[in-house]
Structure 1
């Protein structure tokens, strides 16, 4: 199934009372920037979800730099935005792709399969000279009944079994840029390198100026992977792996999991090896 929506579809449907829009604008370099951009201008009807305040939990010894959020609090925020488990939801960011994909994955994990990512994000929307507003919407509170899809989330122990060669039917994909994958540089995490056995498919190679490349191109990117294998994607903290997850689904891969804690969680266990 294609979970990527174009701006023309959203332009026709953004006033539909059954559609909800979520702005996930964020900057890792300036955590306040996303909210400021939303307050200045956003797609009419869009609610704002912050990567660190809403889409991630508190950082602990394990779990990585952007751990799974408190699901009770996240669901409460969804309900306040008028979103339940069957609402059609369109998520976008400023065009980077990663933050909207993170939200998309979280809603999929909670059991909402009618969540999509806006291709090109807010940048693409603006290029179409489509309507924007600074008005913050208010909705009647919804009742979200989660149905957790555990098959979407890979645990550290599962990743370790793949890395150790105990589970040869699974593939590990490192979504970071090549220099970090090779351990030549590490600007964020305390250790450099990769999870042993992982192959490198940089997440940004699946996009072109914020727009996802066609499904046939995505299939070509992952052509060396057997579709019958289970795939586990990771990055530094589970954010930029999400666009790769989405690209794999668009390419027709069914068995895909996200290692949410990713490399920052992996290195929090001293016994885990680094390649």
Structure 2
């Protein structure tokens, strides 16, 4: 398989179900209803799939700073991978309802710990079911593995780096806000302390990279980012570091080599009361 391929389709996965080296991960979640994803999983999931919860498995403990969905402790994430029977050599396929953001968060975390073979099921479980492929309700159990973490810190942008960009007005990287436009513009803010965006950021709403639950083709992703310099480093953020990950993947697919995530994102930025916030374009 092409190492630069980020998604696979239902037919491809169905042909590999039951392969001992393939592990499927269900990442369904609903913000505001934290138990819904697991309930959906327990009712029906792709055969052999294990469940990873956004807030319990893919995020760490929330503190004064660090955002609403800080990255999990690597020891915690390592333990979950081991309990799920995932090895460094496993081919991992991740999926969610079809939103793309929760599966992308899992994809990003696996890449961050050095995993090579991880792909997103394009269209999520919705596409799987529409194709007529089987589901089950039994919870699988796998033999515990020994997973070796190889942290890839080049995928992360620090708060200090983002602050330097915001305060200087220019810098070595472009800052991309992945939230919907009304939140970026400061017209509304349903969650965070103050509306607006980090100064100097441009807006590329993450959902514009999808159509009917599927990632748009590579040429359409390139069009989304045609005003950005592919040779310039890009830092993506959102509200809490989850919905920026689809933009991270879309940028990589569009040919951008140096893309990083500001994991704490806007919720971390506004946790510092002295930080400036911009509104409008």
Q: Which category of TM-score, normalised to the shorter sequence, fits these structures?
A: over 0.9
1:127 to 103, 127, 130: 130
Aligned residue pairs: how many?
275
Partner residue, 2:174: 171
Q: Determine whether 1:145 maps to 2:152.
A: no
Distance in 1 (CA, whole Å) between partners of 2:257 and 2:137 is 39
Partner residue, 2:24: 21
Partner residue, 2:243: 240
CA contact (8 A) 1:2 1:249 kept: no
Measured against aligned partners, the alpha-carbon deviations of 1:215-244 in whole angstroms (never above 9, x if no partner) come to 000000000111110000000000110111
Partner residue, 1:5: 8
RMSD after superposition: 1.0
1:13 alignment partner, SS class: coil
Q: CA deviation at 1:93?
A: 0.3
Distance in 2 (CA, whole Å) between partners of 1:161 and 1:141 is 43
Partner residue, 2:210: 207
Distance in 2 (CA, whole Å) between partners of 1:200 and 1:85 is 36
TM-score (structure 2 length as normaliser): 0.96
Measured against aligned partners, the alpha-carbon deviations of 1:55-76 in whole angstroms (never above 9, x if no partner) come to 0011100000000112111110
- Structure 2: 5+ residue stretches without partners: none
Q: CA deviation at 1:167?
A: 5.6
Q: CA deviation at 1:166?
A: 6.8
2:58 alignment partner, SS class: coil
Measured against aligned partners, the alpha-carbon deviations of 1:36-95 in whole angstroms (never above 9, x if no partner) come to 000000000100000000000111000000001121111101011111223110000000
1:221 to 218, 224, 240: 224
- Structure 1: 5+ residue stretches without partners: none
TM-score (structure 1 length as normaliser): 0.98
Q: CA deviation at 1:98?
A: 0.3
Distance in 2 (CA, whole Å) between partners of 1:68 and 1:75 is 13
Q: Determine whether 1:88 maps to 2:85.
A: no
Superposed counterparts of 1:188-203, under 5 Å: 188-203=191-206
Residues 167 and 197 (structure 1), Cα distance of their counterparts in 2 relative to 1, 3 Å cut: closer
Superposed counterparts of 1:25-104, under 5 Å: 25-104=28-107
Partner residue, 2:266: 263
CA contact (8 A) 2:101 2:245 kept: yes
